[in-house]
Chains A and B, each alone.
Chain A
Amino acid sequence: MTSPDQSRFALPQRLLHWLMAICILAMLFIGVGMVSTITPKYLTLLSIHKPLGIAILLLAILRIGMRVRYGAPTLPAGLPEPIKLSARLSHYFLYALMVMMPLIGWGMLSAAGYPVIVAGVQLPAILPISDILHTLLWNLHFYLAFAFFALILIHTAAALFHALIRRDGVFQTMTP
């Protein structure tokens, strides 16, 4: 899906990237914060976590659509192949997590038998009530959140490596 003549991501892709970066980082901090407190902040954070998750799901679908439509700039020719491969793979993992985490959360609430209320709107249950499914999805939601954050840290370090050390224009492909 790469178009060789393209030196930067398309403007809507760049704007969406930074909007989602804010949303996803907020989401991960809210997530670990809310499960570590019993104060009324718990309910406030939870009431942000759910609609923000659905928003990220919708934005991720839009983003993947744009990626298909506009493609991505090619990586510099001088970049070693293993780095190129890990760059590509890490981006696919990030896209996958953006879509999967909200769906896992939604499925987890469904399997627990909770009404899924998002910003006052009730969403349908997407899975039957089940201890086994709930436990599986809960564990996935929990551990993938840390994997997601770790991947974002690596992504950030790699972006800064391109910006500050290699200075090869890769960082500029995504600057707004």
Chain B
Amino acid sequence: MKPETPLDMRHSAGAIAAIMTVVLLSGAAFAYSAGWVSPRRLTPAKLVASLAPPTGSALGHRRNHAKGICFTGHFEANGIGRTLSHALVFNAGQYPVVGRFNTATADPNSSDGIQRVRGIGLKISTPDGREWRTAMIDAPFFPVSTPQAFYELQIASKSTNPDAMKEFTAHHPEITHFGAWAKSAAWTGSYAEEQYNALNAFRFLDSSGGSHTVRWSLVPRSNVTAVPPEELAKRDPDFLETEITQRVSVSPIQWDLVITVAEPEDPTTDPSKMWPDTRRTINVGTLVVNRIEPERDGPCRDVNFDPTVLPPGITTSGDPFPAARSAAYSRSFNSRTAEYKYYPRSMSVDTSERAHP
């Protein structure tokens, strides 16, 4: 190389500045994408953290609906669902199900009698290897209209500011409907007696190219008996788990899977708004639950009931919740699987037996 002249050095200084600019701008763009310079962006981490009780998250457990019990069974499709969706799961036949009954709490040791909202998670598998996962609750509509409002609800409900909930309600009046439901709706003494609703809207695609915006519900076949909440509060903290275990050990329990089809004018992007009762409903088959297993060693333990795991023939719709839930559930799953030591499987499990049933 020839010796450097002042001109070369000036050129080098400019070149170094140019290189540094390229590197810094690239880094800044990356930081922007990652949300590091947007503290207001609602990230899955923030949403999941907002669910934590004041004492902190229960390590190794789901960050919400933390208390639950596993079940296995099958979905028996009657074939009628084919008119709405070409998903294989609607072809008449039996498809294995792994699921989980749960209560809507971040505390895996909470008392069943004080939890207003109960839920169910399902994973239905078809022979082509595809799965339909769904997580539903027994409320007929969601407390709030948007994922952002759900986050704000967590913050307000845990706030020490006595006016926080009043302010939240002023901005999100839909919460009052949920409050009214929570106060007036009947309680039952069993997971088997609940109707579970997938409050989000999804799209069913039929084989002739048609698309239908739908919601679905599991309607119990069991007799439903209202029990006053004061009485439930006095029962054993795990009475729901004990009851369902005993009930299923006697005979399988069943739900009808009912699809509700929206009309064009229905609110399909807001799960806090119900659709009119007059909407077309189609019973597409029966969920049969025939075995209950404790979560600790059960088959549902490792399942993320991500509502966006859908088979061909079912897709997400304009409803923003499934995406938000998927992002948050993934975060919860990643955290709890990394914390497996805090929720160890029991020593009594014979793994060789589980591998060869």
Specify whether A and B are partners.
yes
Q: Which A residues contact B (CB, under 8 angstroms)?
A: 28-29, 32-33, 35-43, 78, 112-115, 120, 122, 129, 131-132, 134-135, 138-139, 149, 153, 156-157, 160-161, 164-165
Known A-B contacts A43-B316, A122-B129, A165-B15; A38 and B327 likewise in contact (beta carbons under 8 Å): yes
Say whether B323 contacts A40, CB under 8 Å: yes
Say whether A43 contacts B323, CB under 8 Å: yes
What secondary structure prevails in chain A residues at the interface with B? helix
Q: Is B69 an interface residue (CB 8 A)?
A: no
Say whether A40 contacts B320, CB under 8 Å: yes
What secondary structure prevails in chain B residues at the interface with A? helix
Say whether B131 contacts A115, CB under 8 Å: yes
In the complex, 8 of the A-B residue pairs with CB atoms within 8 angstroms, ordered by the A residue number, are A29-B33, A32-B34, A33-B34, A42-B324, A43-B316, A113-B304, A114-B306, A139-B338
Say whether B33 contacts A131, CB under 8 Å: no
Closest 9 CB pairs of A and B: A36-B35, A164-B15, A32-B34, A38-B324, A131-B340, A33-B33, A131-B337, A40-B323, A135-B338
Say whether B324 contacts A112, CB under 8 Å: no
Q: Which residues of B contact A161 (CB under 8 A)?
A: 15, 19
Say whether A38 contacts B22, CB under 8 Å: no
Say whether A114 contacts B309, CB under 8 Å: yes
Q: Is B287 an interface residue (CB 8 A)?
A: no
Number of interface residues of B (CB under 8 A): 45
Which residue on chain A has the smallest CB distance to residue B147? Answer: A38
Residue of A37, A113, A138 near B35 (CB, 8 A) is: A37
CA distance A139 to B338 in the complex (A): 10
Known A-B contacts A32-B30, A43-B316; A122 and B130 likewise in contact (beta carbons under 8 Å): yes
Q: Which residues of A contact B1 (CB under 8 A)?
A: 78
CA distance A139 to B335 in the complex (A): 11
